[in-house]
Amino acid sequence: MGASKSDFFTNEQNNMANVFKALSHPARIAIIQYLLKVDSCICGDIVNELPLAQPTISQHLKELKNANIIKGTIEGTAICYCLNPETISMFETYFNGISNQLQNKCC
Protein backbone atom coordinates (compact mmCIF):
# COMPACT_ATOMS: atom_id res chain seq x y z
CA MET A 1 0.00 0.00 0.00
CA GLY A 2 1.32 3.45 -0.92
CA ALA A 3 1.98 6.37 1.35
CA SER A 4 -0.72 8.94 1.90
CA LYS A 5 0.00 12.58 1.09
CA SER A 6 0.13 13.45 4.79
CA ASP A 7 3.10 11.07 5.16
CA PHE A 8 5.20 13.60 3.24
CA PHE A 9 4.77 16.23 5.97
CA THR A 10 5.97 16.43 9.56
CA ASN A 11 3.80 15.51 12.53
CA GLU A 12 3.74 19.19 13.49
CA GLN A 13 2.53 20.22 10.04
CA ASN A 14 -0.18 17.54 10.05
CA ASN A 15 -1.28 18.44 13.59
CA MET A 16 -1.48 22.15 12.80
CA ALA A 17 -3.45 21.41 9.63
CA ASN A 18 -5.94 19.32 11.62
CA VAL A 19 -6.38 22.09 14.18
CA PHE A 20 -6.83 24.75 11.50
CA LYS A 21 -9.32 22.53 9.68
CA ALA A 22 -11.35 22.26 12.89
CA LEU A 23 -11.28 26.05 13.18
CA SER A 24 -12.41 26.62 9.62
CA HIS A 25 -16.09 27.16 10.43
CA PRO A 26 -17.50 30.42 11.83
CA ALA A 27 -19.72 28.54 14.30
CA ARG A 28 -16.63 26.93 15.84
CA ILE A 29 -14.93 30.31 16.12
CA ALA A 30 -18.09 31.62 17.82
CA ILE A 31 -18.04 28.66 20.23
CA ILE A 32 -14.41 29.38 21.13
CA GLN A 33 -15.18 33.06 21.67
CA TYR A 34 -18.12 32.12 23.88
CA LEU A 35 -15.96 29.74 25.93
CA LEU A 36 -13.41 32.53 26.39
CA LYS A 37 -16.16 34.81 27.62
CA VAL A 38 -17.73 32.38 30.12
CA ASP A 39 -14.70 30.18 31.00
CA SER A 40 -16.71 26.92 30.86
CA CYS A 41 -20.24 25.93 29.98
CA ILE A 42 -22.59 23.13 29.05
CA CYS A 43 -23.86 22.49 25.55
CA GLY A 44 -27.26 24.01 26.40
CA ASP A 45 -25.61 27.34 27.21
CA ILE A 46 -24.05 27.44 23.74
CA VAL A 47 -27.38 26.55 22.12
CA ASN A 48 -28.92 29.55 23.86
CA GLU A 49 -26.09 31.78 22.64
CA LEU A 50 -25.81 30.74 18.97
CA PRO A 51 -28.53 30.57 16.30
CA LEU A 52 -27.98 26.85 15.72
CA ALA A 53 -29.84 23.70 16.71
CA GLN A 54 -28.55 21.54 19.55
CA PRO A 55 -27.45 18.64 17.26
CA THR A 56 -25.49 21.11 15.11
CA ILE A 57 -23.78 22.59 18.17
CA SER A 58 -22.96 19.07 19.36
CA GLN A 59 -21.34 18.24 16.03
CA HIS A 60 -19.22 21.40 16.14
CA LEU A 61 -18.21 20.62 19.73
CA LYS A 62 -17.22 17.12 18.64
CA GLU A 63 -14.97 18.51 15.89
CA LEU A 64 -13.33 20.96 18.31
CA LYS A 65 -12.84 18.21 20.88
CA ASN A 66 -11.39 15.78 18.31
CA ALA A 67 -8.82 18.44 17.41
CA ASN A 68 -8.02 18.90 21.15
CA ILE A 69 -9.02 22.55 20.99
CA ILE A 70 -11.56 22.07 23.77
CA LYS A 71 -11.96 19.62 26.63
CA GLY A 72 -15.18 18.34 28.14
CA THR A 73 -15.83 17.08 31.63
CA ILE A 74 -18.99 15.32 32.74
CA GLU A 75 -20.81 17.01 35.60
CA GLY A 76 -23.93 15.07 36.46
CA THR A 77 -25.98 14.81 33.29
CA ALA A 78 -24.20 17.70 31.57
CA ILE A 79 -20.84 18.13 29.87
CA CYS A 80 -18.89 21.27 30.72
CA TYR A 81 -16.58 22.47 27.98
CA CYS A 82 -13.48 24.64 28.24
CA LEU A 83 -10.52 25.52 26.05
CA ASN A 84 -7.53 23.20 26.14
CA PRO A 85 -4.61 25.36 27.37
CA GLU A 86 -2.04 23.03 25.77
CA THR A 87 -3.50 23.61 22.31
CA ILE A 88 -3.78 27.35 22.92
CA SER A 89 -0.11 27.34 23.93
CA MET A 90 0.69 25.49 20.70
CA PHE A 91 -1.06 28.30 18.75
CA GLU A 92 0.92 30.90 20.63
CA THR A 93 4.22 29.16 19.90
CA TYR A 94 3.35 28.64 16.25
CA PHE A 95 2.27 32.22 15.58
CA ASN A 96 5.10 33.73 17.67
CA GLY A 97 7.54 31.76 15.50
CA ILE A 98 5.95 33.20 12.36
CA SER A 99 5.99 36.70 13.83
CA ASN A 100 9.65 36.42 14.84
CA GLN A 101 10.62 35.22 11.37
CA LEU A 102 8.70 38.06 9.72
CA GLN A 103 10.55 40.66 11.79
CA ASN A 104 13.79 39.57 10.15
CA LYS A 105 12.44 39.80 6.61
CA CYS A 106 11.85 42.75 4.39
CA CYS A 107 9.27 43.15 1.64
pLDDT tens digit sequence for 49-103: 999 999 999 999 999 999 999 998 888 888 899 999 999 999 899 999 888 888 8
Residue 6's pLDDT is what? 74
CB contact set of 45 (below 8 Å; sequence gap of 6+) = 34, 38
pLDDT of residue 104: 74
pTM: 0.83
18 pLDDT exceeds 80?
A: yes
* Residue 73 neighbours by CB distance under 10 Å: 10
Q: How confident is the model at residue 77, as a pLDDT? A: 85
User: How confident is the model over 42-47, as a mean pLDDT?
Assistant: 86
Torsion from C-alpha of 84, 90, 93, 97, nearest 10 degrees: -140
The long-range contacts involving 96-103, CB below 8 angstroms and separated by at least 24 positions, are none
- For residue 2, pLDDT over 60 is answered with no
Res. 39: pLDDT tops 80: no
| Mean pLDDT of the region 14-30 | 94
Determine the pLDDT at residue 75: 82
